[in-house]
Chain A
Amino acid sequence: MNQLRTLSDEQLMSRTAAGDEAAFEQLYDRYAAKVMGFIYKIVQDQGAAAEILQELFIRLWDRRKQYNSSKARFTTWMFGIARNMAIDRLRRMKRRPAPVESEAEMEQMERAADAGQNVAQEVSNRLRYQQLTTAVQALPEDQRRVIEQAYFGGLTRQEIATTMNIPLGTVHSRARLALKKLGQLLEELQGEHE
């Protein structure tokens, strides 16, 4: 298993496709907590999040041969499937996500840290998480809300316009500005830590 830890996601997925359960378990250990947090962020229900997580990894296992590393990174593929499943559940549950920066989430981070795999990995995760939350929090409120509603809330642009009572063109411009600014902030933050 120690040797597996040094492999990239895509290499682990390649082994998984060949039937290597240990490689798959390594991917699970690497991402289960992150994906569970992500799913919980969308559905806001721990039981539902656990169910979706389990179904997600069963689905990843069943579709392991369909993954093509030349088309997308493993995380992009996996989080994409996870988001679709969570948004589907959310639409059935008719619930909306909480803001990114809630105190409950910070506590959630602490609890997850206690169950971390190793110190180096945990430090790296924490640094990454801090960078991302700092960048998201640095966005203007109205831009952050558009991102929240679209990405974590699964709303379409028309629904966002209606919910926020703003013109459709404003939804477009806020989404564009938010992603642009987020990209710039992440570059700056990465530069500071490198």
Chain B
Amino acid sequence: MTHHQDYNPEDGFDDNDIRELLPLYALGGLTEEEARLLEVALHRDPFLEAELADLTETTVLLPLAVPPMQPSAEMTADLMSRVEKSAVHRFKAPAATSQASPIARVEPESESGGLAAFLSFLFTTPLVTGAAMAGFVAMVGMVWFLNQQVSTLKSDLVALESNSVTAAAERETLIAKNEILEGQVVSLEDDRHTLEDQLIQQGTANDTLEEQLAALVEERDELAASLAAIESSNTEMLAEAAEIEERLAETERVVSLFDSPNSQLYEVGGTELEPEATGQVIIDPESDVAILSVSNLPPLAEDEVYQVLLIRGSEHDTAETFEVNSSGEDFIVIHAPFPFSTFDTLGVSIEPSGGSFQRTGEIVLLGALIN
């Protein structure tokens, strides 16, 4: 394909096209469709791939021909924060169960020490002993209630931590499954690309077959047209052959007329209208073919012809029409409706172009066919 000015991607690319387009492919200057078709072709040809690699060696340097620009510190910090969050999400292990909760670490040891001091104060101070007894009973009840609450909360906390561990384990499992699925997605995408490539190749092959089919159909149509022309020509040739055969048969009949021992020659003379005109006719009385030779007849106007008259008594038949050459001569084969023995006179009249069924014009030649 040497028409490098404009490719039609639907036609596919040949090696010359690809070599023309490789630099623009390396520069990212092709449409997606063009790039995909070119990639299909590249996979088939390691030499083209090597050529592309050479070009890419140069194009990959183009970004470095641009002066750098320092991003802001805020943007960098923001980015790294997002990455860190992502990393924590993906890589950090869940909180270990051995880590004690802040609540669990607050043991009532110091509290019980404080309570003992408080009780010691109450019971070693005589002035407050009576009132303290009532308060003490209430406080013991409150402490008991609070201890119950703490105990319940501890149980809830243990349960929550247990749930948390389970959830973390489930999350890890889900992450692992997600990674497997991501791998499968990548693999499926690769498969899809492969299938797309195959599809494109099959499409290209299909296009080629369609092109071949179209060429064959075109060739068939051309052959059919040639055949029709040949048939037409053949028909014309058959008609021509039939005409030739007819003329040959007539010639044979004329020749036989000359050869026949019954043939007779009669003179035909000009009438008052054309006194200089003369003619001779050869007939076989048993035949319906005769030969007439005329001379000294003047050429006629375009809308007029001479016509042979075959006369018997008061009736006549019209026969062949003819024109004379510049010398006033012609040679006519006459076909009569009956054998010439049935006619007694032969004449020639002037008739309108195409001849007449019955004579309409003046007679210029006339001669008897009887000795």
Contacts and interface: CB of A to CB of B under 8 A. Distances in A.
Contacts of B59: 151, 179
A172 B6 CA distance: 10
B26 interface: yes
A61 B82 CA distance: 10
Given A28-B79, A62-B86, A66-B186, A150 B28 contact: yes
Contacts of A15: none
A25 B82 CA distance: 12
B139 interface: no
Contacts of A125: 68
B60 A109 contact: no
A128 interface: yes
Interface stretch (B42-50, B70-78, B292-300, B317-325): B70-78
A160 to B, nearest CB: 7
B64 A157 contact: no
Given A49-B69, A136-B65, A150-B29, A58 B83 contact: yes
B65 A132 contact: yes
Contacts of B146: none
Interface stretch (B16-24, B100-108, B160-168): B16-24
Interface in A131-148: 132-133, 135-136, 147
A135 B61 CA distance: 11
Contact of A41 (B21, B28, B57, B66): B66
B326 interface: no
B23 A175 contact: yes
B28 A54 contact: no
B70 A76 contact: no
Contact of A176 (B23, B31, B182): B23
A175 B83 CA distance: 40
The B interface is mostly helix, strand or loop, or mixed, namely: helix
B249 to A, nearest CB: 71
A128 B31 CA distance: 31
B71 A175 contact: no
B58 A182 contact: yes
Contact of B66 (A32, A37, A57, A62): A37
Contacts of A19: 87, 90-91
Contacts of A147: 27, 62
Contacts of B55: 179, 183
A132 B70 contact: no
B78 A36 contact: no
B28 A154 contact: yes
A82 interface: yes
Interface string A22-38: 00110010001111111
A191 interface: no
Interface residues of B, number: 48
A87 B28 contact: yes
A168 to B, nearest CB: 5
B58 A186 contact: yes
A100 B76 CA distance: 26
Nearest to A34: B68
**Centre residue among A28, A106, A151 by max chain B CB count within 10 A:** A151
A58 B79 contact: yes
Max count, chain A CB within 10 A of own CB: residue among B6, B66, B90: B66
A129 B30 contact: no
B61 to A, nearest CB: 6
Contacts of A112: 67-70
Nearest to B186: A66
A95 interface: no
Contacts of A188: none
Contact of B71 (A33, A61, A65, A106): A33
A105 B67 CA distance: 6
Contact of A160 (B6, B29, B66): B29
Contacts of A183: 54-55, 57-58
Interface string A74-113: 0110010011000100000000000010000110110110
Given A21-B83, A133-B65, A150-B27, 6 more contacts: A34-B63, A49-B69, A100-B65, A150-B29, A157-B29, A168-B6
Q: Lowest 10 A-B CB distances belong to which pairs?
A: A150-B29, A109-B67, A132-B65, A33-B68, A150-B27, A115-B70, A175-B23, A112-B68, A37-B69, A38-B63
Interface of A: 19, 21, 24-25, 28, 32-38, 40-41, 46, 49-50, 53-54, 57-58, 61-62, 65-66, 73, 75-76, 79, 82-83, 87, 100, 105-106, 108-109, 111-112, 114-115, 125, 128-129, 132-133, 135-136, 147, 149-152, 154-158, 160, 167-169, 171-172, 175-176, 178-179, 182-183, 186
Interface of B: 4-6, 20-24, 26-31, 34, 54-72, 75-76, 78-80, 82-84, 86-87, 90-91, 182, 186
9 contacts: A19-B91, A37-B67, A75-B60, A108-B68, A129-B67, A156-B29, A160-B29, A171-B24, A183-B54
